[in-house]
Amino acid sequence: MFKKKHPWYRSRGYLHFDSPISFKKAQSIVMSCDRVAKHSFYPLINYQIDSYKVAKDELGKLQKKVKERPIAYASHVDSHIYAYYAWRLNTSYEQKIQAAGLNDNVLAFRSLGKSNIEFADSAFEDIKRRKKCSAVALDVSGFFDNLDHQLLKKSWADLIGVDQLPQDHFNVFKSLTRFSSVNKDRLYAILNISASNPKNARHRVCEANVFRDAVRGAGLIDVNRNCFGIPQGSPISALLSNIYMLEFDKRAKQVMDEQGGSYYRYCDDMLFITTEEYRDDIEHFAQEEIKKLKLSINVKKTEKRDFWINAGVQVCNKPLQYLGFTFDGQRKLLRSAALARFSNRMKRGVRLAKATQRKRNAIKRNRGLNERELYKRKLYERYSHLGKRNFITYSHRAADHMKSDAIRDQVKPLWTRLEREMSD
């Protein structure tokens, strides 16, 4: 009922340069073209988190690498404006998708009621049906960071059927292309905001006058002065990336239809299923077409896999990796890197829980209180099948949908590993 009333509105509780506003207040802003056209957007607040990526080296050994993942989020009013315009644009976009017959080709950032599990399984089943075929998996380099502003503006205008963006649309576009941002750590340090308890009776980071003097005045604001790149953290960015790729998607589907093949795109991951005859041609086609969008293919991540029937079963020259899974013609599996990453995350979580337990028990001893054993409930919820939403339950859903006992065999040892980590 709530979503039907206003599908674009969502209350956000985080701290930003403005305070949260009600639906009524947000509605009065977003539905006024004049107010949106004149609206001054606040900088995004950004920070980075370390994610641990596991990859094989040249000798086939797993290597753990730390990858910095940028996170950015818009102010409350700005987020409502982005969400409202995304909702409006999405209606036109979905009409274009249906008209072009792309409903089963463009997978990411759409309300399809499916997850990576269903998308990957559908592609693997496509390969199984063909028996003898080739798969070409391509990855776009730095996707959001390299979207060309002029091409994006044209795609946006084409979608809504105009030659020039109306002022309200243009102001939203400008805020996303010439976006500004403030680093959260520096911001909190200057304003003496506690990182562990930032709200502390606050409704916003600071008042407007403090923003002018202490934030803008201190030179904390960084502005994107490039002619390319949009932030990933806004409620409209994902849709804009799909709009940007619309003509490419149409062309790719057309070419694959002519060959009797299949085309799938999940954000910057593209998968072409064709015959061995056209395998190299498809790679060349994608590279040339993507150049027209001023983007490039990451050749290091390109995969070309051949599948054929041998002794009555489907085999391949090397398993295909797609959306977190692998397929060798017979078995559907989780990527080994995903398992290793989860195992490392589980170990760090248990060690942190133990460190917290030791610290609290030291305080209890000093007070003459009884010590407590390791609090295991949260650990089980996060790292075992006893939780509702975690990697293990995701894996079990994948095993059920893909009818893959091999996936269950992959995650079985993780329970023993968790028990061992907690008992050591």
Percent of the chain with pLDDT over 90: 83
* CA-angle at 358, arms to 356 and 361, nearest 5°: 105
Give yes or no for residue 53 having a pLDDT over 90: no
Give the pLDDT band (50/70/90) at residue 6: confident
Averaged pLDDT, 273-280: 95
| 251 — pLDDT class (breaks 50, 70, 90) | very high
Higher pLDDT residue, 53 or 213?
Answer: 213
Q: What is the pLDDT of residue 201?
A: 84
Tell whether the model's pLDDT for residue 4 goes beyond 90.
no
Which residue type sits at 79?
S
Q: Give ∠ CA 206-30-212 in degrees, rounded to 5.
A: 25
**pLDDT, mean of residues 280-291:** 96
Residues 117-141: tens digit of each pLDDT: 999 999 999 999 999 999 999 999 9
Tens digit of each residue's pLDDT (9 = 90 or more) over 363-389: 888 888 888 888 899 999 999 999 999
Report pLDDT for 169. Answer: 98
**pLDDT given for residue 51 in this prediction:** 66
Is it the case that residue 405 has pLDDT exceeding 60? yes
Neighbours of 300 (CB within 10 A): 7
Are the CB atoms for 238 and 180 separated by under 8 Å? no
Place 3 in a pLDDT band, splitting at 50, 70 and 90.
very low
Res 316 pLDDT > 90: yes
pLDDT band at residue 2, thresholds of 50, 70 and 90? very low
Q: Is the pLDDT of residue 27 over 80?
A: yes
Report helix, strand or coil for 253.
helix
Among residues of the chain, what percentage have pLDDT more than 70?
95
pLDDT at 166 over 90: yes
Q: What does pTM read for this prediction? A: 0.90
Q: pLDDT value at position 54? A: 61
Hey, which bits of 240-386 come out as E strands?
A: 262-266, 269-274, 303-310, 313-316, 320-322, 325-327, 332-334
Higher pLDDT: 62 or 368? It is 368
323-337 average pLDDT score: 96
Q: Which residues of 197-228 are buried (b: 16+ CB within 10 A; e: fewer)?
A: eeeeeeebbbeeebbeeebeeeebbeebeeeb
Q: Is the pLDDT of residue 420 over 50?
A: yes
Averaged confidence pLDDT in the chain: 93
